[in-house]
Amino acid sequence: MATIEVIAAVLTAAALAHAYFATPLLFWPLVSLVLTAVVLAMHSPLALSRRMTFLAHAQGHSILTAALAAAVTTALIKGGLTSFYLFVLFFAILLNLSVLAAGRLGYREDVATGVVMSLQITATIALLFVVRMVLPTSVDPLALITGEYVLVSWSDVLMQTPFLLISALFPLLYGAKYLYAAIDENYAEAIGLKPRLMDNLFLISMSVAVAASVYTLGSLMPAVLLVMPGAIAVRYTQSLTRQVPIAVSVALISVAVAHFIYTLIPWLWPSAAIGIVLLILLKPFKKGPPA
């Protein structure tokens, strides 16, 4: 096991032990955050390799729109958290696949993403007005943005875990091949991969991961964990097979450190602390030797 994996394992174990014994109210929120960060970070190098960084960062817009639409729908049908997750998943997949649909109209990926983001922003404004006028006591838009970290319980983790496990299947089964396919699509086709189909499956997998993280991280921070761990991993090594493990380790280090920061500085929300730690980690790593 490489040094960074050891550091990540030690810090994560220390943070979980600290939460369990010293701050028990934060134990299950931290468990949820660890699981969420691992799965999002597994997708990070894949998003970067397929030049989907803009789309990954656009998840902040997509998931806010999806979360608002899901919250409104759930409130109208008087559903629970399971209904909310399912509706977020449905709307997030729909919005992400619409980017590929726009791309097939002849737009470049960044233009297609921008077009869909424009529609999302319009929908978000309309949904916020609906919340303000019709559901002011049922839906809290700020909670959808920041997440409900301190309210996460063991039952929430239990509900979240199946979604995260499903989302982890794509990077576990196809992660390395997908990274190589980004370099040489002829190689991908030679080993039986269909890049366009893989792109669709990746977007669905990423949507599931983001949808599962909303209650813990809110609608904006999943985008950071979809980009920054992979960006740091690329600076750390050029080995394709090492990028996912390093990205996951980086995410775990940021979560563990963020936990300790939050216990010392309660007004700094954990998801914001994660972003700060990732920005700090971005600088020290130098690009490693080619694989």
| Per-residue model confidence as pLDDT tens digits over 26-51 | 999 999 999 999 999 999 998 887 66
All residues at 6 or more sequence positions from 76 whose CB lies less than 8 Å from its CB, including other chains: 135
Separation of alpha carbons 45 and 66, rounded Å: 24
Cα–Cα distances (Å) from 132 to 20, 128, 147, in that order, read: 39, 6, 19
Are 39 and 212 in contact, with CB atoms under 8 Å apart? yes
Q: For residue 162, what pLDDT band results from cuts at 50, 70 and 90?
A: very high
Mean pLDDT computed over 96-118:
78
CA 45 to the chain's CA centroid: 12
CATH fold of 3-282 reads ABC transporter involved in vitamin B12 uptake, BtuC (1.10.3470)
| Burial of 128 per CB tally in 10 Å (0-12, 13-18, 19+) | middle
What pTM does this model have? 0.86
Helix (H, G, I), strand (E, B) or coil at 122: helix
Mean pLDDT computed over 141-156:
89
How confident is the model over 236-254, as pLDDT tens digits? 888 888 999 999 999 999 9
Q: Which of 57-61, 81-85, 186-190 has the highest mean pLDDT?
A: 81-85
Separation of alpha carbons 82 and 158, rounded Å: 11
Separation of alpha carbons 182 and 138, rounded Å: 44
pLDDT at 83: 87
Are 164 and 237 in contact, with CB atoms under 8 Å apart? no
| Burial profile 67-100: b = 16 or more Cβ within 10 angstroms, e = fewer | bbbbbbbbbeeeeeeeebbbbbbbbbbebbbbbb
Tokens of 237: 């090594």
Tokens of 164: 């995260």
Separation of alpha carbons 41 and 63, rounded Å: 17
Separation of alpha carbons 197 and 194, rounded Å: 5
**What integer best gives the mean pLDDT of the chain?**
86
Place of tokens 């979360």: 67
Q: Number of H helices and number of E strands within the chain?
A: 13, 0
